[in-house]
Amino acid sequence: MLLDQLIAQKPLTISEFKELIEQKDPRFQKELQDYAEHITEQIFHKGVYIRALLEISNICENNCYYCGIRKDNQTVKRYKLRPETILSTAHFAYQKGFRTLVMQGGESKAYSAKEMEKIILDLKHQHPDMAITLSLGEFSEETYRLWKNAGADRYLLRHESYNPEHYAKIHPKELSFEHRIDCLNTLKALSYQTGAGFMVGSPFQTTEHLAHDLKFIQEFKPAMIGLGPFIPAPNTPFQHYKAGSTDLTLRLLSLLRIINPYALIPATTALSALSSHGRLEALRVGANVVMPNVSPKEARESYQLYVKKNETTDSLDQLEKELSTIGYHVDYTIGDYQNKI
Ligand code: 5AD
Return the ligand 1 atom nearest residue 305 CA. Answer: 7
| Cα gap 26→239, rounded to integer Å | 32
* Centroid of ligand 1 to alpha carbon of 160 (angstroms): 8
Helix axes 113-126, 83-96, angle to 10 degrees: 30
* Centroid of ligand 1 to alpha carbon of 267 (angstroms): 14
| Cα gap 138→142, rounded to integer Å | 12
Helix, coil or strand: residue 172:
coil
Confidence of residue 312 (pLDDT cuts 50, 70, 90): low
Q: What is the pLDDT of residues 253-288, one digit of tens each?
A: 999 999 999 999 999 888 888 887 889 999 999 999
Q: What value does the mean pLDDT of the chain take?
A: 95
Q: Is any ligand 1 atom within 6 A of the Cβ of residue 303?
A: no
Alpha-carbon dihedral of residues 306, 307, 310, 314, nearest 10 degrees? Answer: 70
Angle value at C-alpha 73, between 84 and 104, nearest 5 degrees: 35
Confidence of residue 341 (pLDDT cuts 50, 70, 90): low
Instruction: Kindly report whether the global pTM for this prediction surpasses the value 0.75.
Output: yes
* Centroid of ligand 1 to alpha carbon of 84 (angstroms): 28
Looking at the chain, the whole-number percentage of residues with pLDDT higher than 70 is 98
Confidence of residue 152 (pLDDT cuts 50, 70, 90): very high
Strand partners, 160: 198
* Centroid of ligand 1 to alpha carbon of 202 (angstroms): 9
- Higher-confidence residue of 5 and 105: namely 105
**CB-based contact 284:37 (threshold 8 Å):** yes
Q: Is any ligand 1 atom within 6 A of the Cβ of residue 199?
A: yes
Q: Is any ligand 1 atom within 6 A of the Cβ of residue 160?
A: yes
- Domains belonging to the chain, first-starting first, are 28-331 (3.20.20.70)
* Centroid of ligand 1 to alpha carbon of 8 (angstroms): 32
Q: Is any ligand 1 atom within 6 A of the Cβ of residue 231?
A: yes
Is the pLDDT at 81 greater than 90? The verdict is yes
CA distances (Å), origin 116, targets 20, 75, 132: 42, 27, 12
φ, ψ for residue 221, nearest 5 deg: 50, 65
Is the pLDDT at 3 greater than 90? The verdict is no
Q: What is the pLDDT of residues 197-240, one digit of tens each?
A: 999 999 999 999 999 999 999 999 999 999 999 999 999 999 99
Q: What is the pLDDT of residues 17-33, one digit of tens each?
A: 999 999 989 999 999 99
Closest Cα to atom 13, ligand 1: which residue?
A: 158
Residue 201 pLDDT: 98
